[in-house]
Amino acid sequence: MATQTHRLAQPKPNRLRHPDRLSPIWEVSEWALRAVPSDRLCGLAQPRPPAAGWQQERPLLTGLNRVTQTAVATSRICQLAQPNRRPVLEGFGPKSTAVVMTHIPCKASAHIELLATPKHNHPKFEGERSVCWSVSRDARNFVASQRLLELSSPKERSALFEGYDPYVVSQAARSASPSPRIQQLCLPLPRKCNSI
């Protein structure tokens, strides 16, 4: 049991990334330890220098000198620092004042008064029909005729291609004669006919 637990505690080898490594730690060969890098390799190993004109990022809070801290604003600067006061339009903004309609003298014209009158219904307008209405005695005692029963029954339709024979030629097709125009269209084009 101890051997199984010890084996499960070992890290799982990554065969996809390192298929030839038996352990994360491997020995370095003697030739690799004695290798001397070339000048080109040393140049590539150096960190990339910053571009020309690059400046280091400034801190968010810049320090103010003593003159700036003890400066006194003039009256003109205080005047410019005040927010602009815009006139409040009627009907705009969260605190819009209600307009009193009694102080606005207005009178509608005769045409507006004519358009404001409600439209009258048509003399033959009977109004909306009730949802429930009584059925007359004649309608309740009506007996449908044989023709009405025949028309009310659904039409019998045969399924698609049921009893259809594609090789049967109708009598009308056998006794039909083509028109002169059809005979003209059946002829080949003169330019396609071989000259004999």
Q: What is the pLDDT of residue 18?
A: 65
| pLDDT 10s digits, 143-179 | 999 999 999 998 887 777 777 788 889 899 999 999 9
Residue 196 has pLDDT above 60, yes or no: no
| pLDDT 10s digits, 65-82 | 889 889 999 999 999 999
d(CA 44, CA 50): 15
Q: What is the pLDDT of residue 62?
A: 77
Confidence of residue 64 (pLDDT cuts 50, 70, 90): confident
pTM above 0.95, yes or no: no
Contact between 13 and 21 under an 8 Å Cβ cutoff? The reply is yes
95 vs 127, higher pLDDT? 127
d(CA 94, CA 52): 54
Q: Amino acid letter at 82?
A: Q
